[in-house]
Chains A and B, each alone.
Chain A
Amino acid sequence: MNYLLRGIGVVSAVGVFSLLAFSLPSGDARGDGGYTLPKLTHKNWQQECASCHIAYPPSMLPKASWRRLMGGLDQHFGENASLDPATQADILRFLEANAADSGTSRMGSRVMRSMSPSEAPLRITETRWFVRKHDEVSRATWSRKSIGSAANCAACHRQAERGVFDEDTVRIPK
């Protein structure tokens, strides 16, 4: 009886330990420098928000930003990106559920640390978090023809499309 209980104790301890070890998202497991974001799948978001640029990670802006942005898709940074109302509402629900202030990711906490709750920037590239991370990139570099805009993450982060932004994957094009 005693042996049996002890046996169960050992087995469940091992179980909890291995659960902990394997449930850490790969990005977080790499320590503070990890910027490989957990893979997100959402059909409409992947289909509709990745035709003109990469599908920007929802965890890089707070809910209020996503609400503003999704409310003005017919005048989206000078381009018409309008959607039918059902698709638009579906994508907004997904963005809000994974937003920087949804408490679901470390990426989000990093962004929120340098943002006050009343802010709702429309651009990731205007957040203090982004500006600080890119302070070594000069103004002349951003406007290079091969880059064009800070919003062109994939020009420098070669695996941005897969949510990988780690510094060892950065290569600034000529």
Chain B
Amino acid sequence: MIKRFVCSGLAMLGTVSALAGAAETPASLMAQYAKQAGVPVSALSAERGAALYRTEHPGRNGQAVSCAGCHTANPTQAGRTRIGKRIEPLAPAANPQRFTDAAKVEKWFRRNCQDVLQRECSAQEKGDFITWLSQAK
């Protein structure tokens, strides 16, 4: 009996946190990535984030690729995909929808880090990246 209550209580908690999952903020995501990396939030670096954004890497077809390549040199501006479709700005100052959905953020980090760096980004790199974008005005 008690076990049943505990179980349904846990199930309800699960539902609540799954719903809450959609409502992150750049700050709450920074805190999560810092925790995952095992460092305090204050150890995240906007400078390293900017370097990650700008550094060019050799791409598969010999052309240099970078995050800035699609998201443009200035992240408060709209970018373009390879096919020419508009990408809304990455900086939350210009686009409040950014970094508010943990699943979406993880999906694009996974894809875009693989494409640009040929590997996944670390939790620390993700935290740095959001730290820098949060300051971009």
Contacts and interface: CB of A to CB of B under 8 A. Distances in A.
Contacts of B84: 147-149, 152, 154-155
A12 to B, nearest CB: 50
Contacts of B42: none
A54 B85 contact: yes
A81 B83 CA distance: 14
Interface residues of A, number: 18
Nearest to A83: B107
A149 B83 contact: yes
Interface residues of B, number: 13
Contact of B110 (A80, A148, A149): A80
A151 B114 contact: no
A24 interface: no
A151 B83 CA distance: 7
A53 B85 contact: yes
A78 B60 contact: yes
A79 B83 CA distance: 11
B115 A52 contact: no
A82 interface: yes
Given A79-B115, A80-B111, A52 B85 contact: yes
The 8 closest A-B pairs by CB, nearest first: A80-B111, A53-B83, A52-B81, A80-B114, A152-B84, A152-B83, A148-B84, A80-B115
Interface of A: 51-54, 74, 78-83, 147-149, 151-152, 154-155
Interface of B: 60-61, 81-85, 107, 110-112, 114-115
